[in-house]
Amino acid sequence: MPVKAAIERVTGKTFNSVLANLYRSGDDCMGYHSDNEPELGHTPWVASYNLGACRELTFRPKGPGSQRQCLSVPLHHDDLLLMSPGVQASFEHALPRRRNRPAPRINLTFRYIVPDHAVQAKNR
């Protein structure tokens, strides 16, 4: 079964976009952010599928005092993490540098792009 169809079956969500990121080693990282681009609409569901090395995704609350880490979730090979609209609204997430992780990791992030927003973003 293709990956997208399997993820949609497991999550019960529909996706029309995937972003693939290769993290070559623990030196590759991603800073704190939320998946809140306008083309994702007001209630974005995001499915993050991990292939390869285990890495921790860290979450912290948005707003004052947000420098404090709230939660760290290890994502192993073949793990799937579904982030709800509430997660995107209330938290930022990051993939911190882990120099002791030499193996590569591929992350597939599935989203639903709202068609009207995608056209508006393209015309900017």
What is the per-residue pLDDT across 59-81, written as a single tens digit (0 to 9) for each? 999 887 656 668 999 999 999 99
Q: What does the CA dihedral 24, 51, 88, 97 come to, rounded to 10 degrees?
A: -30
Q: How far apart are CA 57 and CA 15, in angstroms?
A: 21
**Domains of the chain listed by start with CATH number:** 3-122 (2.60.120.590)
Measured CA distances, 16 to 40, 65, 114 (Å): 11, 35, 9
Tell me, what's the pLDDT at 100? 87
Checking if the pLDDT of 15 tops 70, the result is yes
Q: How far apart are CA 1 and CA 16, in angstroms?
A: 17
Q: Which of 40-44, 65-69, 83-87, 94-98 has the lowest mean pLDDT?
A: 65-69
- Backbone angles phi and psi of 50, in degrees to 5: -105, 135
Select from 83, 80, 58 the least CA-distant residue to 71: 58
Model confidence at 101, pLDDT cuts 50, 70, 90, reads confident
Which two tokens mark 56?
């921790």
pTM to 2 decimals? Answer: 0.86
CB count, 10 Å around CB of 26?
A: 19
Tell me, what's the pLDDT at 20? 97
Query: How does the average pLDDT of the chain come out, rounded?
Result: 90
Checking if the pLDDT of 43 tops 70, the result is yes
